[in-house]
A and B are shown apart, each in its own frame.
Chain A
């Protein structure tokens, strides 16, 4: 056995080791924490790329922990969707860590630095663990690990309401965990297995039973809380807007996406597409909920005046786009939903990092005070503009491609509901335009007098580079969308079995 066959475990273990080494090193010398985290996550990023290549060429990777074959042993299963998520997670979180160096030094108290990096690494480990595991109970444990790290990171903020927001997040997150555990227990009780692939086979005789129905409903509610799907989103705006901006970027860009990943896994791997589409139309129920989420999230975002609150509510709307795409359960739609995970994590990551840079330099959080920042921080605001356009779906940014696929997916359904969803997607993108373009407009135009005496005062390079890379990604993957689609399209096809 050579090293390359251990890729699925290495991607998780390397940052995990780094997370435990972090306190040891930070105890002696605080300034080594950031380089350690950067090295560990870069290694994971390289492994993620290798995994992606392997999956594209040879298909699904199955790694048996300790050499025990499933269903007795624990299996790490990496298919196209997992590889796609691995690349997304390592890419955005690497940039968030690079960004953290300057940001944390100024925005957080000095003694919080070591735990910050430890928890952030654990958060990344947990996200990677969720997407590579092939075992339902493992999934539950790792989701909890993710949530714990996230609670603590939110509480770490210097904002006044940090603890309250974190406690609220914890209460709702824990409720979600209870539902997930109960759902998993039901599945185990009727099938006697926890391996996802094995479960999907053994559960088939039970289709139509109430136990399966309840289990699926519990899992959907549980993951729905973790992913902040409307109407279970109430914790999100608090937690995401109060967390330190680099953490907001990871939370909004990645953590809620892992919840969406769990929903996709449960729907299409644990249960069969045939079951969730036809026998028990969970997908169409999810689509309707997601459609409401898009509209409500956008409307709430419009009414915000605080930049980070606005971004947080926009996440509620865009989780709606992702779940809607998944729930459409058509080739184009699910591709669009999966693609939007990547596109949205880049754009939202970039936006939160920009918001962090703005707060870092000026302390401004109100969107009506941003006038003139286009001259003061030209690079940051240019990146903000590109990312905002990507959120709205203006070509040639990446968001346009996912909007295109989502729209095609909705129409591909060919039902009247499909038309409604297409309308919601377009209306959602118009509403998104309202609040993002308002900000861009405030930044660049109007109030000429206040702009006259502005000096250029840009954020430090360590913060600018991640911002520029993410904004560049929004553009590049909009012009060359086949790169993410190389994973996203087969992922959707394999999941739906078409």
Chain B
């Protein structure tokens, strides 16, 4: 019963674990680039979560060839594609800012930067 619950929802567990890892990195890591990695991991976990919910048991790719075909929900894939672009842009902005911060202050340590 419990095993079934755990195994049946294994995608949720993995997503939750990834999310927590990412969130931890965001909060606890001092290095700004590690923080950026952290929020990327967290965001990716949510992407995985949404895509995994699109799965239909026994479904195929959503290309209609005439007739009744069981296919996976295509909408989440489209959404996540867009969201990935957003995440990518944000990461790019974050990393370029990190570069600038390093150029200006010579450090990426969040605690040292806060003292400025």
Contact = CB atoms under 8 A, between A and B. Distances in A.
A430 to B, nearest CB: 33
A185 B49 contact: yes
A63 interface: no
Given A144-B90, A189-B53, A182 B46 contact: yes
A148 B42 contact: no
A163 B46 contact: no
A144 B79 CA distance: 14
Interface string A163-181: 1101100110011011001
Interface in B82-102: 82-83, 86, 89-90, 93-94, 97-98, 100-101
Interface in A162-209: 163-164, 166-167, 170-171, 174-175, 177-178, 181-182, 185, 188-189
Contacts of A53: none
B46 A185 contact: yes
A217 to B, nearest CB: 15
A348 to B, nearest CB: 26
What is the interface residue range for chain A against chain B? 20 to 34
B3 interface: no
Contacts of B113: 164
Given A163-B100, A167-B32, A178 B42 contact: yes
A contact patch SS: helix
Max chain B Cβ within 10 angstroms of own Cβ: one of A147, A160, A167, A170: A167
B90 A170 contact: yes
Contacts of A151: 93, 97
A166 B94 CA distance: 9
B84 to A, nearest CB: 11
Contacts of A144: 86, 89-90
Contacts of A170: 90, 93-94, 97
B76 A188 contact: yes
B53 to A, nearest CB: 5
Contacts of B104: 163
A152 B94 CA distance: 10
A141 B85 CA distance: 10
A89 B116 CA distance: 34
Interface residues on B, range: 20 to 34
Nearest to A189: B53
Most chain B C-beta atoms within 10 Å of own C-beta, residue among A145, A174, A188:
A174
Interface string A138-164: 001100110110011001000011011
A151 B94 CA distance: 9
Contacts of A163: 97, 100-101, 104
Contacts of A116: none
Contacts of B90: 144, 147-148, 170, 174, 177
Contacts of A141: 82-83, 86
Nearest to B108: A167
A223 interface: no
A175 B26 contact: yes
A151 B95 CA distance: 12
B50 interface: yes
A175 B101 contact: no
A137 interface: yes
Contacts of A171: 26, 35, 39, 94
A179 to B, nearest CB: 10
Nearest to A167: B97
B2 interface: no
Nearest to B73: A192
Given A164-B101, A189-B50, 10 more contacts: A141-B82, A163-B97, A163-B104, A170-B90, A171-B39, A175-B26, A175-B39, A181-B46, A182-B46, A185-B46
Interface of B: 26, 32, 35, 39, 42-43, 46, 49-50, 53, 76, 79, 82-83, 86, 89-90, 93-94, 97-98, 100-101, 104-105, 113-114, 116
CB-based closest 6 A-B pairs: A144-B86, A163-B101, A185-B50, A164-B113, A174-B39, A163-B100
22 contacts: A137-B82, A141-B82, A141-B86, A144-B86, A144-B90, A148-B89, A148-B90, A148-B93, A161-B116, A163-B97, A164-B114, A166-B97, A167-B94, A167-B97, A171-B94, A178-B43, A181-B43, A185-B53, A188-B50, A188-B79, A189-B50, A189-B53
